[in-house]
Structure 1
Amino acid sequence: MTSRKRGNANLLVLTGTAAFLAFAVKFAIDSFNSKRNSLNKKGLRGSNVRINLTAPEILKLVDRIIANSKAIHDAVASVPLDKVTYTNVILPLEELETNQFPLVQSCVFPKFVSTSDEVRKASAEAERRIDAHVSACSRREDVYRVVKAFAAKGEWMNMELKRYTLFLVRDFERNGMNLTLTKREELQRLRAQIDELSLQYIRNLNDDNSFLLFNHSELLGLPLEFLKSLNKSDDDKYKISLRSHHVSAVLDFCKVGETRRVVAVAYGRRCEANLPILEKLVQLRHKSSRLLGYTNYSDFVSDRRMAMSSSKVFEFLEEISASLNDLASRELNLLKDVKKKEEGELPFGIEDLPYYVKKVEEEQFHLDFEVVKQYFPVSLVQSGIFKVCQDLFGLRFEKVADAEVWHSDVELFSVFDLNSTDLLGYFYLDMYTREGKYGQTCVVPLQTGSLINASRQIPVALLVAQLKKDVGDEPGLLRFSEVLKLFHEFGHVIHYMCNRASFAKFSGLRLDPDFVEIPAQVLENWCFEVASLKLISGFHQDITKPLSDDVCKSIKRWRCSFAALKLKQEVLYCLFDQIIHSTENVDIVGLFKHLHPKVMLGLPMLEGTNPASSFPSSVIGCEAACYSHIWSQVFAADVYASKFRDNIFNQHTGMQFRSKVLAPGGSKEPIELLSDFLGREPSILAFVNSKTETSNDATFR
């Protein structure tokens, strides 16, 4: 690559201190790589990920990682400001990030999957040490000054280098490195308070063990299997805990409206001590954002996302909400009519939505998902997903025989380009449930792809799931929700494997959070089309018999039943999240009371509830960014409807998607990638149409 050749040329003309520093950095990296290679003798070609490290090896390696990182940061920081070049400032940091990531992940990923409690503990400790070191590096003013000096020279060899450098500068400045020392210290104090209050909010939710007592007649409609799983009081009443799995079961199945209301009210007023915590959190977030030059916290968050500003988010949410009003009103009126037939003149409340939606869906679609489950054996679904992705994106998956893994259930696959036969990367599948393993389905990046000095590092990923495997005569079967989740997460794997960005920072899944879910959500659509459903399904006793056409069509219609009402509930919480994080001194309880009937077509908030006291998404992880899930759904719907829907196995379109959207990763603005693929700017129209057209057919026929 031209830019890397120029970088090497720069190295030849360095003299004096700069030359010495460049040599020092190179020595540190070479020394580290030598130790890394000695650790990796058993590894795969192109992979620097270490498998099956012992607890002492993990802690020893993490110490070496931190020491090496510090040495390189020290060397970069020592470059005189008038001697900064790509070779002595950016290249060392770029190489450090590329080389360290697989070793960092080698220390961290065992906490998700290791069968050893000792190893999991060591892995968690390694992550704590690495996080502390990364946090310290992000606040190094000396390194920031040097990077900023290089950025000021504007000597860009290509646009990706410019983007990378400006991202480095931005990351430092979002940590206050452009502030005075006094303001920087204040920022750190504010963030420490925010962290502590956030943890307290979550602790309060986790520690809440409250429950309600009901007799059998008050729980009519709940499945017998669920009732048998409940604990009982001394007077033989059932204990319904105020945890989501119990509450959801009651709201979905209980025929007694008063029971649904009592449970919903109790669930909605949990942890009232969290209200003042959230109010204080919002104040501190606004204060920290103003220190950094932002008007409010929402602008601070959206500034590094596709949305770019809180005003754009509001415009987006209000447009989506308004576009759904007519359909949502018809959906709500239908539910009110059904309730009137079953319960008389009792008013319809927000707590009635889940029960009556489920009731109408059962009557409309005649879908028994326990029967559908019989058509999704794990191995068949996996091979079907492989087939779809290979054919669509021009890939070939090959199982690696006798690979070193951490459990006998784990499989390793190499990924090749179908045309060039080039090795693109590897992915591990750790699919089945076992004790001590992480309980969610997710993708863990192990090594990022990159291109440094004309040398391509390939990506390595891990897909973790909690599926049931075959046991004796009992086949491992997937619920449809598990099939959907698996397809989604494999979409992330494909994105990871196809990424060809030069910088590790723009590779894999380390992308704009508003963008990173879009490819995976595009792939979800293959779970709802007749042709692809037949490909991934087969009766477990005779896999040559896939789901019938009628069942496949019912699943597609079911997808969008009551879509407008369901989405409006999500919009409600997104608007609440945006308002509190973009406006000062908001009455949080009053805001919810105002928003609820406005968004939910006149349905009031349940009296006495305080949804903000149990809204963790607005506290940790998604604060001021709850909108992002809808945002990515909208763009994914546009991509699918515009390019794939009419021919879901069109490899030409799939290859365009791979080259124009997946391959660049974060090296370009997401809106630029999508516009290039679509031939225009993305629109919400396809998303709205996908809800209204299908939902009309599904719900009102």
Structure 2
Amino acid sequence: MGRGRVELKRIENKINRQVTFAKRRNGLLKKAYELSVLCDAEVALIIFSNKGKLYEFCSSSSMLKTLERYKKCNYGAPEINVSAREALVTTKTRAFRPAATYHSPRHRRRLLTERNTTHRETMATRKGGRKNVIAITGVAAFLAVAVKLAIDAINSKRNDLKKKKKGPRGSNVRVNLSASDILKLADRVIANSKAVYNAVASVPLDKVTYTNVILPLEELEAYQFPLVQSCIFPKFVSTSEDVRKASAEAERRIDAHVLACSRREDVYRVVKAFAAKGEWSNLESKRYAQFMVRDFERNGMNLTLTKREELQRLRAQIDELSMQYIQNLNDDNSFLLFDHSELVGLPLEFLKSLDKSENNKYKISLRSHHVSALLDLCKVGPTRRVVAGAYGRRCEANLPILEKLVQLRHKSARLLGYTNYADFVTDRRMSMSSSKVFEFLEEISASLNDLATRELTLLKDIKKKEEGETPFGIEDLPYYIKKAEEAQFDLDFEVVKQYFPLSLVQSGIFKVCQDLFGLRFEKVSDAEVWHTDVELYSVFDLNSTDLVGHFYLDMYSREGKYGHTCVVPLQNGSVTNGSRQIPVALLVTQIKKEVDDDPVLLRFSEVLKLFHEFGHVVHYMCNRASHAKFSGLRLDSDFVEIPAQVLENWCYEASSMKLISGFHQDITKPLSDDVCKSLKRWRCSFSALKLKQEILYCLFDQIINSTENVDIIGLFKHLHPKVMLGLPMLEGTNPASSFPSSAIGCEAACYSHIWSQVFAADIYASKFSDDIFNQHTGMQFRNKVLAPGGSKEPIELLSDFLGREPSVQAFVDSKAQPLNNSSSFR
């Protein structure tokens, strides 16, 4: 559109003239129809020749009056000046119509076809009864389009267009809801859920069936989840503070309702009565019913009323203490003062960013971003020791809080029939029990002892050369690890960044996933989104071309947006009423958008995060579980990170790195082989010592949550030298006072990160390392590991894919690679 008036020269050959006219007419009809739908406008099109009107089209009956204005003058004038020959396309803004009068695109096309067919028959009769309107033209068709048509329509109705754009096919997710719409939708969701739960609760226990008990709850979960997420996800991404507040309030209301549903004894009795009958339509439905019973009973529904009330009281106290622990950390504003001479080694830019005291000393906050920078870079050993000690003594008031938390957790677990709280947590995870977690952590720790000892010896030698005969302390680890890495690896990450333009990395990730998992990614143009930076992609199966799902990419940082990288489930895949509901997800990242059209360049750590999170997207898209409860990322917490951890390996292989890298001024120049090799070796440098530190905290977490009356201060003093090869804990410190994972979120489950790394390493080494683009292996992984979702036990999925039970050996071997390949470690 927008080309202005166009005059076409006569085509002498009659057949060619007919074909040309048909093509141009169809092109104009397509444009007219697009304007009708996309611009929410009423469109009329008339085509004239020097013998009169050849063709007319209108998108609605109300446009017929507009056409009448041209009929009299054109039909009554056999001779028309060339300048007066015109094709007119006129629009009239269409008033809002209620949903009852809305016609689907398919119905619109049928109506338009009927109108156009009727008009052609009328024209044929008027011109002597000939049915072929093209054959009677006799002269060339002159076509034109009004220049301002689309621009005026779009500008005048921009806001309405945004609201009326359709979401992707198969998606029930609603974007761009107003603050009031969010709260109204949340209330409707809650009301509908209550109605379904009430209906299930009313089923007599002797008449329970799959159809009147399980099916309504299944369908409710599948149908309501995208509506719930429509209320909740705006708090992560909306630019409107009112919308974010409404979203947070909606989440509070929905969470309270979900908690109330989990405590409905009447529904629990009905569900358990059905489960006891053992009448399953299939194994996945059996698992679904069993999980429902389990979840009710983990909330105390099988307890007496007195014990149930005690459980609720204990959990309320636990929640309150957990929040107090975190609040104490957030409120801590401790800092230390240092002279410039005590901060040698810190970059000038960092020093300039620091506040100063009245006596011109630098303020080092005891926040992680200041402490990490100082421990990594400061050359002054006493300064590192002072800062590490102060950091380890923060929030001493949290020690009695943690002790009380642990006591209450054990009480709540015993009420539910568990020996301790750790067994309660692990009972529904791959690990199955606290004792198995201990075995796992101790096996990994012991297998790393030799490597960690050699790493520590190297660091002690470096410190001796720099500082003389001074003891090596735990506070020295970050500084000397960084110093050793700089000497061992020729890596400048600012230079590496120049090879990772976002557009190339993104297309490279798509290519890797296409080749491995048989997926095709197609950008959706003109999609309804909540910000102009957001993109929508549809995912198709490469072989069948079936639609697999959709995902949104919200990549750039902005005010009010969630500050971390994550995947937000929006609609879980499932089968309802015999048809599949496709998954819809949102990938949120915090990439800084450049100005002046400069390319957006990613740090290597950002590339790694993007690969990891896209692993979750692929897992989400490929999950083919029938029940929404087992779909998406609603999986065993020990298992859900494994596929994403597997995909991280493609960030360290030269062939895949060259696919996603290219110098931003000449993308035909990828990272060199030497840089790729250095990155792969750097990945595991000093990994044994780093893992030992993580294992230390995992063991502490597991012990306090599996053993009663533990001396928390004494426990860390005992564990520290045992795990860290004799390195003692700094005097006067106790990391338990500033270990938030032990208070909320990961209590009794801190081991899970290492757990997923171990299984991911086994999968990659056994199946992918020899041929990272082997689609047969990739499709096996998709079908055997990703597709079942939570419908089967994770260990069953992994064993089926590997052909054996998983092992820790590949993980241990991978950590030793830098040592085996570097003479500086021999």
Q: Deviations over 1:410-439 (max 9, x none)?
A: 000000000000000000000001110000
1:121 aligned to which of 245, 255, 258:
245
**Which ranges in structure 1 are unaligned for 5 or more consecutive residues?**
1-32
Alpha-carbon distance in 1 for matches of 2:664, 2:744: 41
Q: Deviations over 1:189-208 (max 9, x none)?
A: 00000000000000000000
Aligned to 2:746: 622
Question: Do structure 1's residue 524 and structure 2's residue 648 form an aligned pair?
Answer: yes
Aligned to 2:801: 677
Offset, 1:469: 2.1
Offset, 1:629: 0.2
Alpha-carbon distance in 2 for matches of 1:617, 1:378: 33
Aligned AA (1:386): F
Alpha-carbon distance in 2 for matches of 1:422, 1:377: 31
Question: Do structure 1's residue 199 and structure 2's residue 320 form an aligned pair?
Answer: no
SS of the equivalent of 2:428 reads coil
Offset, 1:472: 1.1
Alpha-carbon distance in 2 for matches of 1:596, 1:434: 42
1:245 aligned to which of 353, 357, 369:
369
2:464 aligned to which of 326, 333, 340:
340
SS of the equivalent of 1:375 reads coil
Aligned to 1:602: 726
Offset, 1:700: 1.3
State TM-score, norm by structure 1.
0.94
Offset, 1:454: 1.5
Equivalent residues of 2:167, 2:527 under 8 A apart: no
Equivalent residues of 1:539, 1:545 under 8 A apart: yes
1:47 aligned to which of 149, 167, 171:
171
Equivalent residues of 1:413, 1:426 under 8 A apart: yes
Aligned to 1:582: 706
1:158 aligned to which of 278, 282, 306:
282
Equivalent residues of 2:233, 2:568 under 8 A apart: yes
Aligned AA (1:227): L
Alpha-carbon distance in 1 for matches of 2:281, 2:211: 12
Aligned AA (2:588): V
Aligned to 1:227: 351
Alpha-carbon distance in 2 for matches of 1:91, 1:474: 53
Aligned AA (2:427): D
Offset, 1:156: 1.2
Question: Do structure 1's residue 329 and structure 2's residue 453 form an aligned pair?
Answer: yes
Equivalent residues of 2:166, 2:527 under 8 A apart: no
Question: Do structure 1's residue 87 and structure 2's residue 206 form an aligned pair?
Answer: no
Question: Do structure 1's residue 571 and structure 2's residue 685 form an aligned pair?
Answer: no
Alpha-carbon distance in 2 for matches of 1:41, 1:403: 7
Equivalent residues of 1:111, 1:120 under 8 A apart: yes
SS of the equivalent of 1:293 reads coil
Question: Do structure 1's residue 388 and structure 2's residue 519 form an aligned pair?
Answer: no
SS of the equivalent of 1:463 reads strand
Question: Do structure 1's residue 408 and structure 2's residue 532 form an aligned pair?
Answer: yes
Offset, 1:475: 2.8
Equivalent residues of 1:563, 1:695 under 8 A apart: no
Aligned AA (2:266): D
Aligned AA (1:578): Q
Alpha-carbon distance in 2 for matches of 1:137, 1:40: 35
Aligned to 1:213: 337
Aligned to 1:429: 553
**Which ranges in structure 2 are unaligned for 5 or more consecutive residues?**
1-98, 105-162
Aligned AA (2:825): F
2:418 aligned to which of 269, 285, 294:
294
Aligned to 1:278: 402
Within 5 Å, which residues of 2 pair with 1:456-475? 456-472=580-596, 474-475=598-599
Alpha-carbon distance in 2 for matches of 1:542, 1:372: 14
Aligned to 1:26: none
Alpha-carbon distance in 1 for matches of 2:736, 2:742: 8
Equivalent residues of 2:623, 2:632 under 8 A apart: yes
Alpha-carbon distance in 2 for matches of 1:540, 1:65: 48
Aligned to 2:717: 593
Alpha-carbon distance in 1 for matches of 2:164, 2:424: 41
Question: Do structure 1's residue 484 and structure 2's residue 613 form an aligned pair?
Answer: no
Aligned to 1:28: none
Aligned to 1:27: none
Offset, 1:362: 0.2
Aligned to 2:775: 651
Equivalent residues of 2:554, 2:587 under 8 A apart: yes
Question: Do structure 1's residue 700 and structure 2's residue 794 form an aligned pair?
Answer: no
Q: Deviations over 1:263-302 (max 9, x none)?
A: 0000000000000000000000000000000000000000
Offset, 1:471: 1.4
Aligned to 1:446: 570
Q: Which has the higher contact order (CA 8 A, sep 6+)?
A: 1
Alpha-carbon distance in 2 for matches of 1:386, 1:222: 39
Equivalent residues of 2:767, 2:777 under 8 A apart: yes
Question: Do structure 1's residue 495 and structure 2's residue 634 form an aligned pair?
Answer: no
SS of the equivalent of 1:271 reads coil
Aligned to 1:353: 477
Question: Do structure 1's residue 182 and structure 2's residue 295 form an aligned pair?
Answer: no
Aligned AA (2:484): V
Equivalent residues of 1:413, 1:428 under 8 A apart: yes
Question: Do structure 1's residue 537 and structure 2's residue 664 form an aligned pair?
Answer: no
Question: Do structure 1's residue 548 and structure 2's residue 666 form an aligned pair?
Answer: no
Offset, 1:693: 2.7
Aligned to 2:182: 58
Offset, 1:473: 5.5
Alpha-carbon distance in 1 for matches of 2:561, 2:589: 9
Alpha-carbon distance in 1 for matches of 2:598, 2:351: 24
Offset, 1:477: 1.0
CA 1:41/1:248 → structure 2, altered by over 3 Å: closer, same or farther? closer
2:787 aligned to which of 648, 659, 663:
663
Aligned AA (2:563): G
Alpha-carbon distance in 2 for matches of 1:198, 1:593: 24
Aligned AA (1:626): C
1:261 aligned to which of 371, 379, 385:
385
Offset, 1:464: 0.2
Q: Deviations over 1:87-122 (max 9, x none)?
A: 000000000000000000000000000010000000
Equivalent residues of 1:560, 1:695 under 8 A apart: no
Aligned AA (2:612): H
Q: Over the residues paired in the alignment, what is the CA RMSD in angstroms? A: 1.4
2:682 aligned to which of 551, 558, 562:
558
Aligned length: 667
SS of the equivalent of 1:43 reads coil
